[in-house]
Every structure is written in C-alpha cells, then in structure tokens.
Chains A and B, each alone.
Chain A
Amino acid sequence: MASQSISFRPAEVIRRIPWSLDKKAALGLVLILITFSLVGWLYLGQASVITSSTLRIERMQQGIALVNQQNADLALQIAELESLTRIEVRARELGYAPTDPANLRYLPVNNFPAPETEDDISRIARTPNPRETVWQLWLDSFVAWVLGRPVPE
C-alpha cells in the first residue's frame, strides 16, 4: 500500500482549499442566509414594536400623570376662587355687608310651616287614612254581620 503524505505547508493548504462551490452548496448557503435574514428581520421587527409600544405606554403614563396633576391644579384653583376671603371681597364689591349679631333681629312668622320632627312623622304614620278607615269599617261590619257578632261602631 502506497503511503500518501499530507503536506501542511501553507502554500499547499491554500492550494487545496476548494475555492469554487458547486450549485447545491451555493443554494444551501443562500437559503441559510435568507433564513437568518428572515429570523433577524422578524426579531428586529418585534423588538421595534415592543420598543415603540413601551415608549407609547411610558408617554401615556406621563400623560395620565400630567392630566392628574392638571386636575389637581384645577381643583386647587377652584378652591382658591371659592376661598372665603375672595368670596368676602366679591360680596363687598357687590354691595353686601357682614351681618352683626347685635343688629340681627329674628321675626316670628305666624303659622310658619316648621320642619317635621321624627315624632310628627311617626304620628302621621300611625294616623289611619280616612278612606282606609271607612272601607275597614264596612268590611268589619260585613264580617260581623256574616258571623253574627255585634256590629262595631
């Protein structure tokens, strides 16, 4: 068996490199390239969507915080406009003057419909409706007549 020596001299190695590719290998390489490109494109696309969504969410959160802040500021402005000092100044501008208890006189009003107390309400609740009373009387009288009992007055 004839021995075959393999040379590792650089010139020999370079000479033995298959510089030309056959069609199958080239196609394979192109397919691999396309696959990687596709995966890369998909990854970058998703990453871009996530990034833009995150930024949008962050901006919306900032927007919410801003609206809340503006809302609080408006509430504060309303409170300032409704402050008693301001109301008093405005009332004076309109010609009103503060009341002085010493110069305040309460006038009695005859038959003034005073608000009902709880006692009044419960008394009203206990008082039977006259219409109901009449019907109840007739019904009681009828039942008594049927049963042969004395008729209630």
Chain B
Amino acid sequence: MSVTQQHQSRIVVMMAVLSAAGLILAAQLVRWQVLEHDHFVALAAQQNQKDIVLRPRRGNIYDTNQHLLAGDTIQYEISASPPIISDPQETADRLYRLLNIPKEALLQSLTRDKAWVAITRSAPRDVGETILNWDITGLLVNPRPKRAYPERNLGGHLIGFVNDNGNGFYGVEGYYDSLLQGLAGRQAGEHGPFGDIIPLGNFEITPPTQGADIYLTIDRIVQRMVEDELALAIDSYGAESGTVVVLNPRTGAVIASASLPVYDPNQFAQTEAEHFLDPLVSTAYEPGSVFKIITMAAGLDSNTVAPGTTVYDSGVIEVGGQTIYNSDRLAHGTVDMTTVLAKSLNVGSAQIAIVMGPDKFYNYIRRFGFGRLTEIDLSGEGPGTLKTPMDAAWSDSDLATNSFGQGVAVTPIQMVSAVATIANDGLLMKPYVVKKVVAHDEGRTIEVKPQVVRRAVSADTADVLTQMLATALEVEESLAIIPGYRVAGKTGTASIPIPGGYHPTLTITSFAGYFPVDDPQVVILVILNKPTVSKWGNQSAAPTFRRIGERLISLLDIPPDEIRLVRNK
C-alpha cells in the first residue's frame, strides 16, 4: 500500500468516525429537542422557574394625634448548615456572646449531623447585621419583619398583637388584620441559582401593596392617664382587676379604654392566653344598679312613670316567688323617681318594670343594645346574656331582678354605649376605635363617620333623665361629683354569681356617668372587680370616676360650668 493510499484510507476512517459521531449527536439532539422536549423543559423549569412571594409591609397603627403605637421593624432568623461550616468551634465562639445562647448548646447545634439547624428566629437587628457582615459560609441570616409596640403595654388589649407568622390577633390588630397585612406580591419566572432574576429571562414581578395605616380614636395621653388612675384604684381599693372606658357620647368614639391587668404586646409569647381577651368587649358582668338608668329611661319614655311619680317602698317585694330587698335592707316609704335613683332602690326599680310589663321593658333593653353585639371594630366581642320572655329559662322574677341589673350580663362597651345614649339625647351611636384608614394602593384615605344605630328614647326623656341623675348625685353628695361641673351618673354594686347563687361578700362595683350635664362631652364607665377595701360602688368606683373626670377636664380642655354657661348665653 502506497503512502497516498494509506492517507486516503485514514481520512476515510476519520470521516466515518466523525460522521458516526455527528449522527449520534444529531440523534441525541433530536431526542432532546423533539422527542423528550417537554420532559426537559419541565426539568429546566424546576431548576430556574421560581414563584417567590413578596411579603408586603404591615401597616402602622397611630393614636388620634398621629403618635405611632404599632409598626414593623426587622429581626433576623439565624440558621446553619453544619456540614458546610468549616470551623464550628470558632463559629460557636463568635456567636454565643451575641446571641446569648450557651456556647455548649450552640456548638452541639453546629456539629449535628443534619443539613440544616435553626439557631434563633428572633435575633435583634444589630446582631443580625453584625453576623451578616462576618460572611461565614454555612451560616444563614435571613431578615424577617417583627411587630414593635413603642408604648409597650399602653392599650395592650385594644391594640392586640401580631404573631411570628405575621397574623394579627385580638384588638385592632385582629379586627383589621386583612387591611393591615396588605397584598402580597410575586416574583415569578426564571431565576438564577441564588434566587436573583435572570435579566434576559422571562419573569413577571407584581410588587406587594403595603398594608393600610390605621389611626385610632384613642388619645395616648388620656389612655395613659386612665391606666394610671385605674392602677391606683385597684391598688387603693384592693381590687382584683378593673376596666375604665371613656367615650365621646356624640360620636361613639372611644377616647380611652383600659383594663388591668394588661399585657405587653411585644412580649405576647410570654403572656398567658387568658390575658389576651379585652374585657371591654369580651367579659360580660352583672352591671347592678347602673342598669337602673336603663330601667328609668324605659319607664319615662313609655310614660309608665314621670319624675314626680311616687311609689311606696316597703323595703321588700316578692315577684315570681323571689323576695327582693333594697341593698340597705330598709323601707323608704313613699318615694319619687329621683329618690329611687338617689337611694338606688331595688324595690322601686322592680315596681317600674312590673308596671311596664315584660314586653315593653325588654323592648327598651334591646333598643339600648343589650343582648346583641355593638359591632365595635375590635376583635372578640361578645353579646352578653339577656334572658327574655321568649327564653325557656326566663321567669317572672327575672323581670324584677333585671330592672336593677341582676340576672343580666353585659359587656362594658354595651353598658357605656347605653349610658352614652342618654347623654346623646336618646340616640344610640355605634362605638368605634378607628377614625381613619390610609390605604397605600391608591393613596386613599377613608374617614370613619359616626353612625347612629337607632333612637332608643326621645330627646325629652334623655334630658329629663339626665337632670334626675344629676340631682340624685347631688342629693346623695356623691363622691363622683366634680367641683365646678354638673355630673350625671349612677353607681352600681353587683354581687358576683357563683354556682347556686351569689357570692356572700365579693362584688363588682361600678360607676357610669357623664359631664357637663348641659353639653355632655365624655361618658366614663369605671368597673372594679372584687374590691376588698369597700364593696360599695359609691365608695370605690365613684371617687375613681371623679379623679379621672378631673384629669380629663384639663386634658380635653373642658371649661367649668360657670364659664361655659356664661359664654354660651
């Protein structure tokens, strides 16, 4: 074989090999691109197609004067991939001081035979950023939003809290959770190995919409003052707990609401669940004699009685087989309606309800909003308990006992709204705590307007009753009277129901009142649970009302009657 022939045969062999390789490649390409196209597209999509949820920033909560009460900050979630950490000992050395975790426990975590271990979910911002700057391979530092409450436990029940998953519970956080959360965005399409979008790839970004900011009707300074006074009252009168609510009777706006003991929403994880419920809307209690305001309003409005109507009070009355006494166990003889209120006579009150009859009486009770939700914008509201003749458990004696607030359970917000109805010329307003919502999606501001629920009694009835309540306090020289101001109100001392009857000594004392009588600007309800120093409302709740009222005068700038009435002449 000549050299030329040798070359030619080698070339032929090479061509054959290359052709075969080319054919194989072509066949493989056909397989990948045509026959198994869908399978490989799906495989590729698994690797680079991601749909990342972009979490929106939660809206802020402000008080009525635009002071921040709740806002989002950042905390860091720190975890590790032990197999990737090159020097667990040194890493543990550096971390334990910052994270305040025992070094041994940390080292144990970093040397575990696991692909991923959690170290902490809530490292503070500065700690997280320091660790982030160390840039230790195998240590994962991810930012997470954290809800912060700069005023700490101020209005804790009202505000509620947000858990680690970003869901709001209780109070405003719970009620307005969907508004505050905003709308999640998404980043869908081709992403690089580190989660970043591929600039020339196909992707779609829908930015998240920040949650709406909420402005409350609550004034933080009034709120603080009310909490201080409530704490002082609980301490002074040896009470177990208490609630105070301050309401604007003209609008139904809650200016302050305090219930003690209260919790710090920043520390919700360390708080027992029973403290989360806001007694303002969730805890029903027997209101006692404060309820006589409602009975008297019903009696006056239905023309069953007039202020000058007299009843004979023998100190005891039997209704439906149950004997009812006055709280002082005395007979007061012939008394008018103002005296029934001033002396807080159960017998007189029961007589009004009996003459009125159950249909009329319960119709009025319902008109004042008892036995149903007030629909206040707070989470966890309860309707209380109101038995009517329609219920199987109702008996004739209930008509009499209900007239002075026994056998009926109401929430503080129901009670204060009902009393505010008298102060507001007989119009029942829907109570509310949010006055404005600022939505970020369209820059819209939604102002919450006061809402009239219904007329409970006529304006004349409300006016007459207001004068009677004020006179009753003056006749009895009540400790609730605020010097310089005419006050209308009523004390209450309710026994606490226990299985088989009522507790022999423990009571719930309360006072509901409003001032100035000629132009009511605030309604205050004070409730003290199980006071031990005095079990009577006129000795514990009434003076607390006065102290709060006195401080409200300067905070809300309410001039004394003599100045205001002269100016208005």
Contacts and interface: CB of A to CB of B under 8 A. Distances in A.
A85 B220 CA distance: 11
Nearest to B562: A108
Interface of B: 8, 11-12, 15, 57, 60, 67-69, 71-74, 125, 148, 150-152, 154, 196-197, 199-200, 220-221, 224, 228, 484, 547, 550-551, 560, 563, 567-568
A142 B15 CA distance: 127
A117 B8 contact: no
B255 to A, nearest CB: 16
Given A55-B199, A79-B67, A72 B8 contact: no
Contacts of A117: 567-568
Contact of A69 (B74, B200, B484): B74
Contacts of B199: 50-51, 53-55
Interface in A32-75: 47, 50-51, 53-55, 58, 68-69, 72-73, 75
A76 B151 contact: no
Contacts of A68: 57
A82 interface: yes
A117 B569 CA distance: 10
A80 B150 contact: yes
A51 B11 CA distance: 46
A2 interface: no
Nearest to A76: B71
What 6 A-B pairs come out closest when comparing CB atoms? A54-B199, A79-B68, A101-B550, A79-B150, A51-B199, A80-B150
Nearest to A119: B568
A114 interface: yes
A98 B554 CA distance: 14
A11 interface: yes
A73 to B, nearest CB: 6
A14 interface: yes
A83 interface: yes
Nearest to B228: A98
A14 B8 contact: yes
A79 B152 contact: no
A101 B547 contact: yes
B197 A114 contact: no
Contacts of A102: 547
B150 A76 contact: yes
A70 to B, nearest CB: 10
Contacts of B154: 83-85
A58 B196 contact: yes
A104 interface: yes
B517 to A, nearest CB: 19
Contacts of A148: none
Nearest to A10: B12
A76 B68 contact: yes
Contact of A83 (B60, B73, B151, B551): B151
Contacts of A11: 8, 12
A122 B73 CA distance: 51
8 contacts: A14-B11, A72-B57, A72-B71, A79-B71, A84-B154, A98-B228, A101-B547, A119-B568
A84 B220 contact: yes
Contacts of A76: 68, 71, 73, 148, 150
* Residue of B199, B550, B563 most packed against chain A (CB within 10 A): B199
A84 B200 contact: no
Contact of A101 (B8, B152, B196, B551): B551
Contacts of A79: 67-69, 71, 150-151
A114 B563 contact: yes
Given A79-B150, A85-B152, A10 B15 contact: yes
Interface string A94-119: 00001001101010000000100101
B258 to A, nearest CB: 13
A83 B69 CA distance: 9
A79 B221 CA distance: 14
Contact of B150 (A47, A83, A106, A114): A83
A75 B12 contact: no
Given A68-B57, A84-B224, 10 more contacts: A14-B11, A54-B200, A72-B72, A76-B148, A76-B150, A82-B150, A83-B152, A84-B154, A114-B563, A117-B568
Contacts of B151: 79, 83-85
A80 B67 CA distance: 10
A72 B57 CA distance: 10
Given A72-B73, A73-B125, A58 B15 contact: no
Nearest to B203: A54
Contact of B73 (A14, A58, A73, A98): A73
B54 to A, nearest CB: 10
B567 to A, nearest CB: 5
A66 to B, nearest CB: 10
Contacts of A78: 68
A143 B196 CA distance: 88
A68 B199 CA distance: 25
A116 to B, nearest CB: 9
Contacts of B68: 75-76, 78-79
A82 B220 CA distance: 11
Contacts of B547: 101-102
Contacts of B125: 73
A37 B22 CA distance: 26
Contacts of A73: 73-74, 125
A70 B74 CA distance: 10
Nearest to A11: B8
